[in-house]
Structure 1
Amino acid sequence: MTTDMLKSKEALRNLIDAYAYLGDEKKLAEQMRLFTKDAIYKAYMGDFLAADVSGTEQLEKEFTGHVSLVKTYFTLNGQHTVNIDGDTATGVSFSQIKMIRETDGKNILSDYSVKYEDKYVQQNGQWLIKERTGYFIIVETRTLN
């Protein structure tokens, strides 16, 4: 494996981690800079297509609506495998996402186990997310004490 390949793998892992950090901190404008302007984002809850958004302007609106309902996010990234081909790459990553929302004065925890399938491009020396599809495989919701 070449030094350039190792640098690209590290940069792609850092991209995925930055996506999680910025999402947890609700820094959506900064998070949008991780995507190409024409990015595609899809999310499946089981077999149901819950989100299908194109472009960072629409994506930021979608995320802003979601963030307004959430008190706290906590994301833990796991495995991340990439295949790099010049200035493009594909990747699969896994995340554990916890969200706390308030309903009827009670804190409700939603716990998501997510598999992401991504397409990346390198523009001006920086790796960006071109397409991201999230598969919410396990979803658990419960009231916190």
Structure 2
Amino acid sequence: MTLEILKAKEELRNLIDAYAYLGDEKKISEQMGLFTKDATYTVYMNGVVIANTTGTDVLEKEFSGHASQVKTYFTLNGQHTAKINGDTATGISFSQLKMIRENEGKDVITDYSVKYEDKYVFQDGRWLIKERVGYFLIIEARALSN
């Protein structure tokens, strides 16, 4: 493995971590800077497509609308594998997401186990997400007892 490939893999890992950090902090506008302008984002829950968005303008509106309903996000990224092919790459990553929302005056936490399949491009000197598909594999919601 060349030094160039190792550097690209590190940059891609930093990209998916930045996606999580900015999402947790609800910095949606900054998060959009991690995508190409024509990026696609698709979400599957229980094998059914529940969202399919193209373009960062639309994606920002959808993410902002979602973030307005969430009191707290917490993301923990796990393994990430990437295959580099010049100025393009593919990657698979796994995340644990927690979201706290208020429902009927009570805080409800939802845990999501997510597998992401990504396509990346190296553009203007940095890696960006061109396509992200999220498979929400395990979903558990419960009231918090605080």
1:40 is displaced (CA, Å) by 0.1
Partner of 1:24: 24
Give distance in 2, aligned partners of 1:88 and 1:8.
Answer: 10
Structure 1: 4+ residue segments shifted above 4 A:
none
Paired residue total: 145
Q: What SS does structure 2 have at the residue aligned with 1:60?
A: helix
Please, what TM-score do these two structures have when normalized by structure 1? 0.99
Partner of 2:8: 8
Q: Does residue 80 of structure 2 align to residue 80 of structure 1? A: yes
Amino acid at match of 1:17: D
Structure 1: gaps (5+ residues): none
Partner of 1:120: 120
Q: What SS does structure 2 have at the residue aligned with 1:26?
A: coil
- Could you say what the CA RMSD is over the residues aligned between the two structures, in angstroms? 0.4
Q: What SS does structure 1 have at the residue aligned with 2:110?
A: strand
1:109 is displaced (CA, Å) by 0.3
Q: What SS does structure 1 have at the residue aligned with 2:70?
A: coil
Partner of 2:99: 99
Give distance in 2, aligned partners of 1:48 and 1:105.
Answer: 30
1:124 is displaced (CA, Å) by 1.3
% identity of equivalent residues:
70
